[in-house]
Amino acid sequence: MSLLETVHGPERLRELSAEELDTLAAEIRAFLVERVCATGGHLGPNLGVVELTLALHRVFDSPRDRLLWDTGHQSYVHKIVTGRAAGFDKLRRRGGLSGYPNPAESEHDFVENSHASTALSYADGLARADAHHGRTDRAVVAVIGDGAMTGGMAWEALNNIAGGPDRPLVIVLNDNQRSYAPTQGGFADHLGELRSGQPGPPGLFEQLGLAYLGPVDGHDVTALEVALRRARELRRPVVVHVVTEKGRGFPVTERNELDRGHAVKPMDPATGRPLKSSAGPSFTSVFGRELVRIAERRPDVVAITAAMLEPTGLLPMQQRFPQRVVDVGIAEQHAVTMAAGLSLGGVHPVVAIYSTFVNRAFDQLLMDVALHRRAVTFVLDRSGVTGDDGPSHNGMWDMSVLQVVPGLRIAAPRDGTRLAELLAEAVEWEEGPTLVRFPKGPTGEDIPARSTFAGTDVLHRAGPLDVLIVSVGALAPVALQVAEVLWAQGIGATVVDPRWVTPVNPTLADMARRHRLAITVEDNSRMGGVGSTIAQFLRDEGVRTPLREFGIPRRFLQHGSRAEVLSGCGLTAQEIARAVVEEISGPAEDRTGGEAIDFEREMARLIDRERGGETR
């Protein structure tokens, strides 16, 4: 039996000798490589915190002492030593372990802090709560690193921790010199000075009034224990500076100088090659390619990323125009307002960011960009359902949140060709901000339009004008499948893609009037989504055709594949078609006046008028 097989909780770690801990660390690394290469997940961050996690659980008594992980993707070793090793066969899969701390999984997890730079605020609150209740018998430990200290929220918390009364709060700064890629900025330079050990004036943390211990070798369990025990004994806010190596112990991640195996897809551990071949170009790669083409024509275009250069597709731009790409670290708020400043200075910024992270910069987008009508283009990757990263990473709120922003134009391309077209249109718009959003994964085959009606693409027509299906973005294949299922039951349908979903194209009112029922299909929350906006627009236009919205319900979605999560939301062709059949009934008549009309003739007349340029 291996040592790892005997570890079912943290108490077992306290029984091991130094030699046994070294053996266990090696076994854990081998376990991580085997399991994460099979399932995919955050490999590099966890290979770097093996000894640190062992030392933390030997010094502190979890769950009585609260251990918080920031960001949470470095918590795999914590999960292993708290009795969850068996769950790694289904890591990030439906019914299996989450890729982040999850209070539903274990009493050793306190918050699902999968967005960076939050743990210090949680820790400050927990320490203050203990002080409020007069508890002095436990500690709060926040493990922050992997670039999370580049986020402004971490410094807001640090300012309050340093300025408050002394409380037992230990900040473990996991310094691996990286967020996703190498960490940028003045703070990273300061940590480099501390790592060098050169004598000098008091460091930043000490100047703030915090105790400082380190730097400590993050792969020496004995040295780590000495520092952590000293930090606990101080019973005040203290920073323990731990130096670790991301991706340590696995040649594939050690050789990867870009991200050190930060997040890997299922791969062969011997070669690092993906287990599955690519299913064609991804939306991300198409964006990256097209942005370079635009930048070659437009010397005023500059790209901005928040610590996600490669994942958002900006690596080709950085390689082609290194001086025209800015990585601000995990600082979305700064990225957006800096973009407003660039726009004021005559530059057209393209801010590439995950949909889930744009939530953090809503105020800046609203007040610093939109209020001043700045021409900034936002590109939201991972919009809609992303799946395996779980509830915090689904991009299911962007259109609900951002449609309220005055003057913001939002595009949702259905395929790679439309992404290229809409990105070009977005960057050309100089009257205010624009946004292009797309999902994670391959673009699939292009879906050409049968015709274009005043900017709205007609993708499908069959039978009488019973149902108008408004397809939003990458759910076009589902919308077309719905039309096929309906036609098999004798129900006619028109499938249209408005391309620009905000503002609403006025021609949707003309189309809706000539159908018995209108539906919208989107991978965004039904609350405040595109469907809700179109419904309001139709009411304002006096259109009496009923509208039914199909989207994501108002709840957090657990991890699983994109297809599984969409199916769980009822966003399948069969489920939508069944609901439409139940909704539609009675003769084909004009709901606005009760007089039967020739729907086919009306649609043909409107499309012919558009082709003649009357609506342009």
Say whether 438 counts as a known binding-site residue. Answer: no
**Is 245 exposed, middle or buried, given 0-12, 13-18 or 19+ CB atoms closer than 10 A?**
middle
Q: Determine whether 193 is an active site residue.
A: no
Q: Catalytic: which of 92, 360, 374, 461?
A: 360
- Tokens representing 49? 């915190």
The SS3 call for residue 542 is coil
Question: Residue 401: which of 268, 502, 297 has the closest Cα?
Answer: 502
To the query of whether residue 79 is one of the catalytic residues in this protein, the response is no
The contacts of residue 401 (CB under 8 Å, 6+ apart) are: 358, 359, 362, 528
- Alpha carbon distance 88, 41 (integer Å): 10
Q: Supply φ then ψ for residue 41, to 5 degrees.
A: 150, -170
User: What CA–CA distance (Å, rounded) separates 71 from 329?
Assistant: 14
359 among the known binding-site residues? no
With H, G, I as helix, E, B as strand and everything else as coil, classify residue 612.
coil
Q: State the Cα–Cα distance between residues 379 and 381, nearest whole angstrom.
A: 6
Flag whether 174 is marked binding: no
CA triplet 542, 546, 552: central angle to 5 degrees? 120
Amino acid at 508: L
Report whether 89 contacts 380 (CB < 8 A): no
Q: Which residue has the tokens 């250069």?
A: 309
Q: Binding residue per annotation — 75?
A: no
d(CA 125, CA 131): 10
Q: Is 147 assigned a ligand-binding role in the annotation? A: yes
| 432's tokens | 């205010």
| Residue 375 labeled ligand binder | no
CA distance 484 to 61: 59
- C-alpha to C-alpha distance for 70 and 119, rounded to whole angstroms: 5
Q: Are 282 and 442 spatial neighbours (Cβ–Cβ below 8 Å)?
A: yes
Is 114 assigned to a binding site?
Answer: yes
Q: Which of 246, 514, 526, 548 is catalytic?
A: 246
Closest residue by Cα to residue 437 from 499, 509, 361: 499
Q: Which whole-number Å values give the CA distances from 459 to 141, 332, 424, in the listed order?
A: 55, 37, 22
Q: Rounded distance, CA 167 to CA 587, Å?
A: 73
One-letter amino acid for residue 350 of the chain: V
- Asked if omega into 299 is within 30° of 0 (cis), the reply is no
**Computed from CA positions of residues 509, 511, 516, 522, in that sequence, does the dihedral angle turn out positive or negative?**
negative
Residue 143: what residue type?
V
Task: Report the distance separating Cα 336 and Cα 363, nearest Å.
Answer: 9
Catalytic residue among 51, 112, 290, 332: 332
178 is a catalytic site residue = no
CA distance 110 to 129: 14
What are the residue ranges of helices labelled H in 61-109?
Answer: 76-79
- Contact (Cβ atoms closer than 8 angstroms) between residue 249 and residue 261: no
The answer to whether the annotation marks 115 as part of a ligand binding site is yes
For the annotated catalytic residues, the residue numbers are: 246, 332, 360
- Which residues are part of a known binding site for Mg(2+)? 146, 176
- Which residues are part of a known binding site? 73, 114-116, 146-148, 176, 250, 332
- Which residues are part of a known binding site for thiamine diphosphate? 73, 114-116, 147-148, 176, 250, 332
